[in-house]
A and B are shown apart, each in its own frame.
Chain A
């Protein structure tokens, strides 16, 4: 079964450093998402991406965050200058359109980001 793949599974970075989290969505999907989950808290929407541009973003997704689909297969989330409070699990998801319907989103297994 096709799946969303995220790398790395765990990343440790120093505060103030830039990190790039990588995702390979399911190949025929057109909608892409990033979510995060701080330990013990709920899954929070960060951003959605469609047709090569951001379609929606939350208030969490400030100027420190950016997303890119550099080569038609990868979907990346960049955090420019990490803060301690950026420590969380980051989930990538993708979905497709079938006819006029947008199907369910499939989530990757996440990248655990630890900022020290």
Chain B
């Protein structure tokens, strides 16, 4: 079962920041948080991941709380093309047995 919970849907105005929350209260100390998104039925697209420090790349920022029980994905300037289902995933397992367990995700709709 997925170790994360996310709101089922969110709306965001185009050009504004989209803040997508995720709870992962049972995360273990060495488990990473990953974010992926899926546009229509395409393959999940990697966005960002982190362990305990905040992370930023060209797509997004990831803010992880100090206790690591929750995180927020930030899309700084959402565009219509960011409309997708966003998955917060805790990667489980150890080297050689990793797996990504998807939950139901947040359906983000960016509005013009």
Contact = CB atoms under 8 A, between A and B. Distances in A.
A48 B101 contact: no
Given A42-B103, A43-B102, A107 B44 contact: yes
Looking at chain B's contact residues, the main secondary structure is loop
A42 B102 contact: yes
Nearest to A50: B96
Contacts of B104: 42
Interface string B81-110: 000000100000101111111111100000
A91 interface: yes
Chain A interface mostly = strand
Nearest to A45: B99
B97 A104 contact: no
Q: Which of B45, B99, B101 has the most CB of A within 10 A?
A: B99
B76 to A, nearest CB: 20
Contacts of A50: 96-97
A59 to B, nearest CB: 12
B100 A45 contact: yes
Given A48-B98, A107-B46, 7 more contacts: A31-B96, A37-B41, A50-B97, A56-B99, A100-B95, A104-B46, A105-B100
